[in-house]
Structure 1
């Protein structure tokens, strides 16, 4: 799969699982994405897809590398739809 396609799938999954904050931006916790069965089957490398989306300024989150368990409560914010 190409990176652009993976990122578009990530945006779709964030829209499915996320919630809108007071600022109107959609966000989802890393743990929710990582533990979701559909996401687990869709993404071979969720962390890599998130890093690529962050580089393209489609999402933002604290830190560079997200690890399951340690970073489950990190909010991933969708910057564009």
Structure 2
């Protein structure tokens, strides 16, 4: 599904360069007689790194990322690995 820049909000997950990103922060700045500038702070869901991007204009569109969430219970951590239990099984 494609959304335009006006439909963005915190918490939405979008796809950029084939990777899923969650919108952490969103700000729009309107200038007189110019197209607005949208600044996004994004968190890549696979690696956890944060990036900032800026877009100009009304015609900017984003693809929503296909992300599934499930309730789970944290069990333990071993080095960099985290172990969860699926509470539905």
How high is the TM-score relative to the length of structure 2? 0.26
Taking CA–CA contacts closer than 8 Å with sequence separation of 6 or more, which of the two structures ends up with the larger relative contact order? 1
Q: Which structure has the highest strand share of the two?
A: 2
Larger-Rg structure:
2
